């Protein structure tokens, strides 16, 4: 279970949009909540059309005000890092470690392009710098009353044990909320192979198609065995293997099964062929409005 959830805030309503979700999770887990604001060097006076907190005293008053708005039953700490920093993301990661936080919750807000919103911006940088999972939310979606019911969690996998890091955290949420785990593996089709794989496949199309079919068979065995193991641990779990473009399949599956969260292990790299790299994960978030939990590998 989560023991301490870190909530970075900048004074905007967008950043505050995560608070109902935080309240829900803290109420379920009994975890402490740590509200934090980092004083940024040469910070802009406004951010997203709202006043940007730039003075320690006003940031302290702001965080205490938010604390008083949350239920008194919750354990809440407030912290303002008053020494100006040039980069906010590494400071957030350092504080997560210092305060023994095991989850960071942030909303995705920033520029219009989603790659700039979270991947290449603060949320993804926090993933890159730290070892703490980050739950990224859509600020518009979380304002709905029914936003977070968490009855089904989608967990994309690829057969690499390293990437089962996402499943580890998905099981924590499933235990916390009584959710069903839905394990998904996506095997490329010949037509949608990425990067160098696509180039190579043009020279050996028959061999490539055969290898992809073999990969599908191995995926069925892998995810079937993993599902049995997870089921024996006491979880309600389902699985599926699909063929096609991973991003499209993951998004379509999340919609079809009514997923309330997608959980993925990520290296936080941009430009990698792996579909849990930064750039591909950004495309998934760009096409869904449910929370995306990124677990650093």
The 10s digit of each residue's pLDDT in 88-141 is: 888 999 999 999 999 999 887 644 444 444 444 676 677 777 688 999 887 666
Q: What is the pLDDT of residues 267-281, one digit of tens each?
A: 654 434 444 455 677
Question: Quick check: 284 and 251 in contact, CB under 8 A?
Answer: yes
Its CATH architecture, for the domain 152-288, is 3-Layer(aba) Sandwich (3.40)
Tell me which residue of 9, 126, 123 sits closest to 59, measured CA to CA.
Answer: 9
- pTM (predicted TM-score): 0.86
Q: Is the pLDDT of residue 171 over 70?
A: yes
Encoding tokens for residue 230?
Answer: 């997870």
Q: Beta 103-107 vs 4-8: how paired, if at all?
A: parallel
Whether residue 268 contacts residue 214, with contact meaning beta carbons closer than 8 Å, is answered with no
Query: What integer pLDDT is reported at residue 8 of this predicted model?
Result: 94
Instruction: Map tokens 């303002």 to a residue.
Output: 80
Asked if the domains 4-143 and 152-288 are classified in one and the same CATH topology, the answer is yes
| CATH architecture designation of domain 4-143 | 3-Layer(aba) Sandwich (3.40)
Best CA proximity match to 123, nearest among 246, 291, 252 = 291
List the chain domain ranges.
Answer: 4-143, 152-288
């Amino acid at each position: 279970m989560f023991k301490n959830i870190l909530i970075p805030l900048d004074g905007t309503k967008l950043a505050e949009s995560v608070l109902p979700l935080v309240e829900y999770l803290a109420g379920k887990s009994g975890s402490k909540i740590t509200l934090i604001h980092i004083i940024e060097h040469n910070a802009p006076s406004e951010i997203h059309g709202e006043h940007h907190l730039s003075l320690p005293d006003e940031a302290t008053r702001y965080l205490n005000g938010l604390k008083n708005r949350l239920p008194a039953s919750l354990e809440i700490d407030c912290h303002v890092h008053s020494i100006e920093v040039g980069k906010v993301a590494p400071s957030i990661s350092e504080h997560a470690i210092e305060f023994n936080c095991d989850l960071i919750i942030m909303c995705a807000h920033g520029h219009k392009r989603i790659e700039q919103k979270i991947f290449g911006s603060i949320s993804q940088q926090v993933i890159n710098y730290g070892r703490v999972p980050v739950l990224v939310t859509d600020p518009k979606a979380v304002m709905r009353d029914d936003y977070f019911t968490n009855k089904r969690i989608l967990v994309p996998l690829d057969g690499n044990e390293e990437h089962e890091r996402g499943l580890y955290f998905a099981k924590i949420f499933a235990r916390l909320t009584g959710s069903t785990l839905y394990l998904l593996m996506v095997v490329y089709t010949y037509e949608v192979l990425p990067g160098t794989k696509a180039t190579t496949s043009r020279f050996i199309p028959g061999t490539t198609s055969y290898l992809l079919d073999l990969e599908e068979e191995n995926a069925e065995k892998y995810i079937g065995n993993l599902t049995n193991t997870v089921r024996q641990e006491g979880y309600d779990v389902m699985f599926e293997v699909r063929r096609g473009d991973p991003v499209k399949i993951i998004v379509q599956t999340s919609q079809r099964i009514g997923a309330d969260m997608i959980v993925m292990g990520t290296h936080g790299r941009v430009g990698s062929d792996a579909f849990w790299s930064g750039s591909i994960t950004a495309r998934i978030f760009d096409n869904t409005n449910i929370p995306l939990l990124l677990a650093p590998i």
